[in-house]
Amino acid sequence: MNVVDKDSPLPMYYQIEEDIKRRIEEGSYETGKPIPSERELSEKYEVSRMTVRQAISNMVRDRLLYREKGRGTFVAEQKFEQPLDGVTSFSEDMKRRGLSPHNELLVFEKMIPDETTKDILALGTEEVYYLKRIRYADNEPMAVEETFIPVRLFPELEEKVFGVMSFYEYIETKTDVSIRSARQTIEAGIAGEDEAAPLAIDEGAAILQIERIGYLTNGLPFERNISTYRSDRYKFISDMYRN
Amino acid sequence: MNVVDKDSPLPMYYQIEEDIKRRIEEGSYETGKPIPSERELSEKYEVSRMTVRQAISNMVRDRLLYREKGRGTFVAEQKFEQPLDGVTSFSEDMKRRGLSPHNELLVFEKMIPDETTKDILALGTEEVYYLKRIRYADNEPMAVEETFIPVRLFPELEEKVFGVMSFYEYIETKTDVSIRSARQTIEAGIAGEDEAAPLAIDEGAAILQIERIGYLTNGLPFERNISTYRSDRYKFISDMYRN
DNA sequence: TAATAAAATTGGTATAGACAACTATATGTC
DNA sequence: GACATATAGTTGTCTATACCAATTTTATTA
């Protein structure tokens, strides 16, 4: 079995993960049934049992496998083809739904934030970037979005970034910080004049209002995002797991 | 340092986790700052470095710590006192918000499901329990809820269960299956006659409609739940993490 | 003083082995 | 046939060691 290459720069446990995933996909490891025991796998891949365990542990963490002491390790049902359980930007969300996102940037400026935003982002007297955008999917207006971002965290941020890439993509590729989590609050509302016009819906129609506060790995909040979606075109979908 | 007991039935890595958590809580390990290195900890607890690594790996998985190669292991900001990132029943959700839930059971019967429910729950010609309930929090109506549960999965289910405990609690204590995950779809709507009356709101008011499909560990769907919340009293809040 | 090189420190990967706890199967006994 | 018992197989826990890769700190050099 030459599936793992000891001289590869990729760690062996990673190569083993990929091989097990492949076998699950092609059906040689069936859902609900046990995969070979750790000892068998360590012989097959010619690595120590602990290395096999590391591969399996990662896959258990990702819920592809589950272990039962004394019985074996089993393939979990692959329920969610595309996982919908993470923090995503509007652009990423739309792409995942098979739609093409684009923006109309109404406002981009530095400003002193209001009290609420100041509290949420844990700011003193600092400035924030303020963006107001209309979000489109396949050229149909989908949401109106306001975003507040502390200037201190991204002093180099420029308007043109928001044309060419997702803000989240910018953070993860152009800066040395990374996104950890977000808290989202979702409520229903009725469209007033301010919402109806940009979304091309009637006043009195149902709208979905989502406030997201995003946090970096170091725990600092990096954005407050308030989005208003038209409810005839958008449903919020998410996968959750029992703790 | 006698914090870990080698003769305890609790594994040592678990005892070490608890000790590190305690130190984080009491402040001797500060958020954003590094904890002692793995080698130092292995000397301190008098265990091998791999055992310390297992403790730390679990805490990294649970997002209490994060590692940076060459720099150290750091205490993550404790953003979310009470995690809001799991699948919860209405009762659990309300208790977490500090409210007292109770039910008014309008309908409890066995029936042949409609086509949509049949597809979602992957049923043949089987029956489902059908429940319709008004959900109260602190004696105020909060939501109208319909639930479909395959009879085959819980043949012993009785009406009185829904008075005394959460359905999820029933599953986890009285049966040998366990809950794994759920997919939730959230949208905004306008209250019609059917919703306005039981929720004591006006027709035309905003409502939040949540459909939840719950899955067991073995991958089988065990419930379809359609809830209509009054939007003046209820916001859906959830924590999510970046994948 | 500033740039560079070397050393020390840290987490990342991997080995080989040991015993414990648990499950399923085969075996023997009544 | 029913029931206890041994046995083999599985994951769970832990050790002691080794080397690698990334980063920080210290020492050296220009």
User: What pLDDT is recorded for position A174?
Assistant: 78
Q: What whole-number distance in Å separates Cα of residue B231 and Cα of residue A206? A: 11
Q: What is the per-residue pLDDT across B137-173, written as a single tens digit (0 to 9) for each?
A: 999 999 999 999 999 888 888 887 787 788 888 887 7
Within this chain, do residues B111 and B227 fall inside the same structural domain, yes or no?
Answer: yes
Is residue B228 within 8 A of residue B199, CB to CB? The reply is yes
Within this chain, do residues A118 and A224 fall inside the same structural domain, yes or no?
Answer: yes
Positions of chain A with pLDDT lower than 50, given as ranges: 1
CATH number at residue B40: 1.10.10.10
Among B60, B75, B90, the domain boundary falls at B75
Best of B50, B58, B79, B201 to mutate (most A CBs within 10 Å, chain A) = B79
Does some domain include residue B6? no
What tokens appear for B183 in the block?
A: 């997919």
Does this model's pTM top 0.75? My answer is: yes
Best of A78, A223, A239, A242 to mutate (most B CBs within 10 Å, chain B) = A242
The number of helix segments (H) and strand segments (E) in chain B equals: 8, 9
Q: Which of A87, A189, A218 sits opposite B241 (nearest CB)?
A: A87
Q: What is the mean pLDDT of each run of 10 residues along chain B (243 residues)?
A: 79 96 94 95 96 96 92 85 82 92 93 96 93 94 96 85 81 78 94 93 95 87 96 94 83
Within this chain, do residues B89 and B59 fall inside the same structural domain, yes or no?
Answer: no
Does some domain include residue A203? yes
Within this chain, do residues A202 and A99 fall inside the same structural domain, yes or no?
Answer: yes
Is residue A152 within 8 A of residue A223, CB to CB? The reply is no
> In this complex, do A79 and B179 lie within 8 Å of one another by their Cβ atoms?
no
Within this chain, do residues B21 and B87 fall inside the same structural domain, yes or no?
Answer: no
Kindly identify which residue of chain A lies nearest to residue B220, measuring between CA atoms: A77
Q: Which of A132, A83, A128 is nearest to A110 (CA)?
A: A128
Q: Which helix (H) or strand (E) holds A2?
A: none
Task: Give B69's DSSP letter.
Answer: T
Within this chain, do residues B109 and B213 fall inside the same structural domain, yes or no?
Answer: yes
Q: Which of A110, A92, A109 is nearest to A101 (CA)?
A: A92
> In this complex, do A237 and B185 lie within 8 Å of one another by their Cβ atoms?
yes
Total of domains in chain A: 2
Within this chain, do residues B156 and B70 fall inside the same structural domain, yes or no?
Answer: no
Domain with B128 in it: 80-237
Q: What is the per-residue pLDDT across B53-79, written as a single tens digit (0 to 9) for each?
A: 999 999 999 989 999 999 999 999 876
Residue A68 CB in 7 A reach of strand C = yes
Does some domain include residue B27? yes
User: What pLDDT is recorded for position B166?
Assistant: 81
Does some domain include residue A4? no
